[in-house]
Structure 1
Amino acid sequence: MAYSRGVRWDRFFEDLEDQVASEWEAERAALDTEAERLRLSKVGLRARLEALAATSVSIEFVDGTVVSAEVSGVGADWVALAPQGARSAAIVAPLAGVVSIAMPHADVLRSARPPVAARSPLADRLTFGYLLRDLVRRRTAVAIQLAHGRLLTGTVDRAGVDHLDIALHEPGSPRRTSEVTGHRLVPFAAVAWVRIDGGVDLL
């Protein structure tokens, strides 16, 4: 930086201050960027889905099904959806069954900054298995879409820590011995999503 003899010292100090300020702004921007990266590294999919509560999204599942729905609830490892145009039906999917979630960019940004709130310890206990055991208690008829593409309809008889038992029968039929056509044990890992009819309150 060169100055003629006539340049006033105050101009010199102004330039120096501008240079220091510019370097400080660049350093602060770098720190902010790194802090943002660190914050995002701690945000899980569940937290982002919670931030999308009552938001319309389009979700693709591992079986290739794409559902346009509103996020109606989030458990420890599952999401509940209210499909568009289906008044009394709900879809529940383990988070492992979700392939992608489409939404407007504004919602993407909003979900990346979920509100900081104390999470109830009970919420961490609301696992996919817990939800299925509640369906067992209610004797609710379901349709279970498997990851490889097959659809099973019937009633969940039992739910263990990592699998369920389903008694197969036609949709809309009660679970009577005469109506049951077979039984299946299904690992949770094989489930893409579960459709529940009848307006069951999941949370």
Structure 2
Amino acid sequence: MRKTWISVMLILFLVAIVTGCGQTSPYGTPVPIKQLKWGMNEKETMTRLGITEKEITATSNGFMLKERIELYNRPAEVNFLFSEHFLLGITAIFKPADVAFVEQEITKQRGPGEPQYNAKNELIQLSWNDGLLQDNKKWLAVVEKIYRDNGMKATENPMEDGVNVTGKPITSWVLILDKNSPRYGVVSFYGQVAAMLNYPERFFPTGKVEKE
């Protein structure tokens, strides 16, 4: 009985945490989970969620929660994706019966998504992108410096060798709507550029970039 009560309290606590968006950031759309911010490491993410290793399952590039939590007022299996210990993505898997509702809720928050159709003219995906990195020269300069200081060339010319920094949205959401796909109902949240802008000093071998 005690174990059941503790499990119920944990679920209620996580529901309270995930209601709403993440920490305020000037870079793109916040993480869709309260208290989180693109670029946090694994320990910071778990601390903000109020969970321990007992509540997660390790994956090859991060971890997933053992219990479903509510996103957009619907239960979802949630995976947190890290690269070099930086939170760059979150994947939420919704039940098929909840997909239409989730689509409506995301549209309320972010406006109409960009549709993608298959050869039969069937809607298979919606995506929501913030402004592109190259549209903000100040942010672009920060990201280019991060790549240079890590020994990589950043270029705005897709024909040149190096890391192409054009066409990169600050953050993006992708909802799979292909009912013939095993990924139907998956929402992927990406925030690589926002992570670099939130914590530029973490991407540098030495030194820091001053942020205003």
CA radius of gyration, larger in:
1
Settle same-fold status: TM greater than 0.5.
Answer: no
TM-score norm. by structure 2 comes to: 0.25
TM-score norm. by structure 1 comes to: 0.26
Question: Of Structure 1 and Structure 2, which has the larger fraction of its residues in strand?
Answer: 1
